[in-house]
Structure 1
Amino acid sequence: MPQLLQLNSLNLATLIRPGDTVMWGQANAEPLPLTQALMAQRKKIGRFKVMLGIANSPTCLPEHADCVDFMSYCGAGANRELASAGLLDILPSHYSELPALIASGALRIDVLLLQLAPANAEGRYSLGIASEYLLPALEHARVVIAEVNRQAPWTYGERSLGAEDLHAILYTDRAPLENPVSRIRDSDQRIAGHIAGLIEDGSTLQMGIGAIPDAVLSALGEHRDLGAHSGSLGDGVARLMHSGVITNQRKTRDRGISVGGILMGSRLLHDFASNNRAIELRSTRYTHDAQVLASIDRLVAINSAVEVDLTGQINSEVATGNYVGAVGGALDFIRGARDAKGGLPIIALPSTAGAYSRIVARLSGPVTIARSDAGIIVTEFGVADLRGLTLKQRVVKMLDIAHPDHRPMIQAQLDAIGYARFP
């Protein structure tokens, strides 16, 4: 039987060793009482490492680096403060590779902290808000510590947990974290309009997170029999399922079910997903698998980027010298949509960020996605379908979707490079 923990006498040093690597559910799946206790007790434990996902809470702060080494696959959310301070080591891995890295020990996970929904009548706990890479970690961690949160949604997925899977349990009753409401701008709505015009009835959607995906989902109210297969599911998916737009009835895989790895939304989403058999959360091994994705007809993959150059090279990681994004799962889904019958691999981004153009002659950061994988690029000024185009043809298409005020500057940069040497 697992050890029962009490918050007022919680001593994680009896379970976590110096040198351990600790992982927990990202975003709203974070077991907040456990992670806050971990940071508070870091000196008692001794130096250890934390593998972070997206952080929706300020649990990990730069001052905690006195005893903690931080690593992550991304610089999103509260991770940006650690990254700006030079205290976040980045694992530049495709999301689909994380399970194999964990299984091989290349990404060793010693201690796993989970937020679970209470046990059902059969005594089985649900992973609640996230499954994704937590399932592979569960198979390999030496110690599994669970916050069993009375308010966490009970969701269906690949597996549930029993007492035999847990070493210690902390019972709580608190509202899980929620994603803030996206601020949708006029440019986001215009981008969403372009994308909605590309999507056929019966398509299956993969959405990233943020204002543009939210705007796209809001623009699909007149569509019919859409499906969902995504790394994350948000409030927009719940709304479209409730209204009958997302039915999953024309999916060629997992018919009738919206499949995701994590819930990334508000209480509206948590309540809708709880005990709802039309939603299943599964491992990254499934949600990002190349063969699975290629088998989903009319898969529409919609992801964002920091900047795109005139030939279709994509930087999704670094902006103005700061690590703000991730390699993540974008390429997994772009390739999946490319290989799927009738699929659409879409990268969507506003044409500008402040005074800067996001359509550029040359990237200011790394090439996260090669131009050989480029598909459809969308800004508020239109759609550039780069599939099958030469470099010179791509330049023309990309200039057409840049902000008109920046086109002369981009053209001047291009002239300075020269077509023959570009790039």
Structure 2
Amino acid sequence: MPQLLQAHALDLSELIHPGDTVLWGQANAEPLPLTEALMAQRARIGRFRVLLGIANSTTCRPEHAEHVDLLAYCGAGANRELGNAGVLDILPCHYSQLPALIESGALRIDVLLLQLAPADANGRYSLGIAHEYLLPALERARVVIAEVNRQAPRTFGERTLGAEDLDAILHTDRPPLENPPARIREADSRIAAHIAGLIDDGATLQMGIGAIPDAVLGALRDRRDLGVHSGSLGDGVAQLMQAGVITNARKNLDRGVTIGGLLLGSRVIHDYAHDNPKIQLRSTAYTHDADVLANLNQFVAINSAVEVDLSGQVNSEVAAGSYVGAVGGALDFLRGAARSRGGLPIIALPSTAGASSRIVARLNGPVTLPRSDAGLIVTEYGVADLRGKSLRQRLECMLQIAHPQHRAALEEQLCTVAGCPPLE
């Protein structure tokens, strides 16, 4: 039987050792009482490492680096402060690679902290808000510690847990973390209108995170029988399912079911997913699998970027010298959409950030997505379909979707695009 932990006397030092790597559910799946106790007891435990995903809390702070090595696959949320302070190391891998890295031990996980929903009548615990890369970690971790949160949604997924899978349990009753609604600007709405015009009835959608995906979902209320297969599921998905727009009725895989790895929204998605078999969470090994994605007909992948160059190369990681994004799952989904029958690989971004153009002659950060994988690039000024286009043709297409005030300057920099003859 697992050890029962008490909130007033929560001591993790007997379970977590110096040199351990600790992983927990990202974003709203974070077991906050456990992670806060871990950080409070860092000096007593001795130096250890944590692997972070999206951080929707400030549990980990720059001053903790005195006792904790901080590693993350992304710079999202509170991770940005850690990166700017110079204490965050980045794991630059595709999201689809995480399960194999964990399973092989190349990315060692010693301790796994989970937030679970209460046990059902059969004594089985739901993983609640996230499955994704937690499943392979369950098989590799030496110690599994669970917060069983009375208010966590009980979701359907690949597996449930029994008492035999857990080493210690802390019972709580608290609202899970939530994401505030994204602020949708005029440019986001214009981008969403362009993308919505490309999406037919029966398409299966994957959406990244942020205002543009939310705006796209809001622009699709007149569609029929849309499906969803995505890494994350937000409030917009719940709203379109309630409205009868997302039915998954035409999906050739997982028909009738919305598939995701993580709930990433507010109580809207948490409450809708609770005890709802029409939403199922799966591991990253499934949600990002190349063959699964390729076999989804009309698979539309919509992801964001920091900047895109005139040849179609994408930087999704670094902005103004700060690590703000991730390699993540964008390339996994874009390649899946490119192989899908009737699929659309889309990168969407506003044409500017302040006074700077986000369509650039030369990237200011790493090449996250190579130009060989370029699909459709969308800004508020239109759609540049780069599929099958030569470098010269791409330059012409990309200039048309750049902000008008930056087009002349971009034309003057065309010579920096390697391998392309000058425009006439």
Q: What is the match of residue 257 of structure 2?
A: 257
Given residue 182 of structure 1, which amino acid in structure 2 is its aligned partner?
A: A
* Cα distance in structure 1, aligned partners of 2:51 and 2:219: 36
Q: Deviations over 1:195-224 (max 9, x none)?
A: 000001000000001000000000000000
Alignment of structure 1 residues 90-101 onto 2, 5 Å? 90-101=90-101
Partners in 1 of 2:118 and 2:317 — Cα distance? 37
Q: Per the alignment, in what secondary structure is the counterpart of residue 292 of structure 1?
A: helix
Matched, 1:163 2:163: yes
Q: For residue 421 of structure 2, give the secondary structure of its aligned residue in structure 1.
A: helix
**Which position in structure 2 is the counterpart of 1:138?**
138
What residue number does 1:172 align with?
172
Whole-angstrom CA distance in 2 between matches of 1:37 and 1:5: 12
Q: Is the 8 A contact 2:131 2:261 kept in 1?
A: yes
- Residue matched to 2:409: 409
Give the Å deviation of 1:420: 3.3
Residue of structure 1 in register with 2:13 after alignment: 13
Percentage identity across paired residues of the two chains: 74
Distance 1:149 1:170 in 2: 8
Partner letter of residue 420 of structure 1? P
**SS of the counterpart of 2:216?**
helix
The alignment partner of 2:108 has SS state of: coil
- Quote the residue 2:269 is aligned against: 269
Q: Residue in 2 aligned with 1:213? A: 213
Alignment-mate amino acid for residue 153 of structure 1: P
Q: Distance in 2 between matches of 1:209 and 1:229?
A: 14
Equivalent position SS for 1:249: coil
2:236 aligned with 1:236: yes
Residue 412 of structure 1 and its aligned partner are, at CA, apart by: 1.3
Amino acid at match of 1:151: Q
RMSD: 1.0
**Structure 1 residues 270-292: Cα deviation after superposition (integer angstroms, max 9, x where no partner):** 00000000000000000000000
- Could you tell me which runs of 5 or more consecutive residues in structure 2 were left unpaired when the two chains were aligned: none
**2:335 match:** 335
Closer/same/farther in 2, CA of residues 416 and 174 from structure 1, 3 Å limit: closer
Q: Which string of whole-angstrom CA distances, capped at 9 and with x for unpartnered residues, describes residues 167-197 of structure 1?
A: 0000000000000110000000000000000
Which residue of the partner structure matches residue 344 of structure 1? 344
Q: Identify the residue that residue 380 of structure 1 maps to in structure 2.
A: 380
The one-letter code sitting in structure 2 at the alignment partner of 1:283 is S
Separation in structure 2 between the aligned mates of residue 66 and residue 324 of structure 1, nearest angstrom: 23
Give 1:123's aligned residue: 123
1:149 aligns with 2:133: no
The 1-side partners of 2:78 and 2:224 are apart by 37
Displacement of 1:415: 4.7
Match of 1:294 in 2: 294
3-state DSSP class of the match of 1:420?
A: coil
- The superposition leaves residues 300-341 of structure 1 with CA deviations (integer Å, 9 ceiling, x where unpaired) of 000000000000000000011110000000000000000011
**Secondary structure in structure 2 of the residue aligned to 1:18:** coil
SS in 2 for 1:12: coil
Alignment check: 8 A CA contact 2:392 2:421 kept: no
Which residue of structure 2 aligns with residue 42 of structure 1? 42
Matched residue SS, 2:345: strand
Residues of 2 paired with 1:187 and 1:364: CA distance? Answer: 22
Structure 1 runs of 4+ with >4 Å offset: 415-419
Per the alignment, in what secondary structure is the counterpart of residue 14 of structure 1? Answer: coil
In the alignment, the residues of structure 2 paired with residue 116 and residue 88 of structure 1 have an alpha-carbon distance, to the nearest angstrom, of 28
Counterpart in the other structure of 1:420? 421
Equivalent position amino acid for 1:174 in 2: R
Q: How many residues align?
A: 422
Inter-partner Cα distance in structure 2 for 1:421 and 1:18: 59
Q: How many angstroms does 1:419 deviate by?
A: 4.2
User: For the residues of structure 1 that align with 2:62 and 2:88, how far apart are their CA atoms?
Assistant: 9
- TM-score by length of structure 1 reads 0.99
| Offset, 1:416 | 6.5
AA aligned opposite 1:41 = Q
Match of 1:13, SS?
coil
Which residue number in structure 2 is paired with residue 227 of structure 1? 227
Say if 2:361 and 2:416, in contact at 8 Å, map to a contact too: no
CA distance in 2, matches of 1:372, 1:421: 20
Query: Offset of 1:414 from its aligned partner?
Result: 1.5
Q: Report the Cα distance in structure 2 between the residues aligned to 1:239 and 1:388, rounded to whole angstroms.
A: 36
Query: In 2, distance between residues paired with 1:416 and 1:114?
Result: 49
Read off the aligned partner of 1:141 and give its amino acid letter.
A
CA gap of 1:416–1:19, structure 2 versus 1, over 3 A, is closer
CA distance in 1, matches of 2:195, 2:9: 53
What is the alpha-carbon distance in structure 2 between the residues aligned to residue 180 and residue 209 of structure 1? 12
Q: Is the 8 A contact 2:18 2:46 kept in 1?
A: yes
The 3 A distance-change label for structure 1 pair 421 and 100 is farther
- Residue 322 of structure 1 aligns with which residue? 322
Query: In structure 2, what residue type is equivalent to 1:36?
Result: E
Amino acid in structure 2 at the alignment position of 1:32: L
Shift of the alpha carbon at 1:421? Answer: 8.3
Three-state SS of the structure 1 residue aligned to 2:332 is helix
Distance 2:421 2:261 in 1: 45
**CA-CA distance at 1:69 after TM superposition:** 0.2
SS in 2 for 1:147: strand
2:105 corresponds to: 105
Partners of 1:39 and 1:419 in 2: CA distance: 52
